[in-house]
Amino acid sequence: MKQADAFITKAHGEVGQAEKPVNKTKYGAFTKHDGQPWCGSFVMWCAHEIGFKDMPNVVYTPAGVSAFQAKKAWTSHEVAKPMPGDIVFFSFDGKGTEHVGIVVKDNGNGTITTIEGNTSPDVKPTGSQANGGEVALKTRAYKTSNTRHLPVFVVGFGRPKWTA
């Protein structure tokens, strides 16, 4: 199994896990940021659990973007060709990046399937997308021309150096 596949499998096994109480999780405890929004901590925990040591730190999402850019492993959303295991960065307020997740697959229609920590599942989409309290499988648009006509909140993608 490739590292990217193992990473996605680990993340998928966490779908449905919820914080108790607000922003308290094993993911935040792992990164020593418990009590804070934990989407980036979830990504870091999944990488650690499969033994991947080269994941740029995405706990603070703007720093994660900078780290991927410094490694020349960053692509903006409109020119991206997302791959399973890519790290996807979101802006729901249009002011930067405040959320991060894991690409499961490119759906071929301008959308991707993701697994994200600290979001709201699609069955209750009115919850916070950037601080919703649960690990969820999501469908997100990354192209403005997506055929599902979903709003585009994806800023770009970081590609870890996965090995076979």
Task: Return all residues near 120 (Cβ < 8 A) that are at least 6 apart.
Answer: 126, 127, 128, 129, 132, 133, 134, 136
CA-closest candidate to residue 47, choices 75, 20, 11: 11
How many angstroms separate the CA atoms of 73 and 17, rounded? 30
How many angstroms separate the CA atoms of 103 and 105, rounded? 6
How many angstroms separate the CA atoms of 159 and 83, rounded? 8
Summarised one tens digit per residue, pLDDT across range 77-133 is: 989 999 999 999 999 999 999 999 999 999 999 999 999 999 998 876 667 899 999
Does pTM top 0.85 for this prediction? yes
DSSP H or E stretch at residue 28: helix 26-31
- What is residue 138's DSSP assignment? E
Question: Span 44-57, mean pLDDT?
Answer: 98
Summarised one tens digit per residue, pLDDT across range 138-162 is: 999 999 999 999 999 999 999 999 9
- The answer on pLDDT for 45 being more than 80 is yes
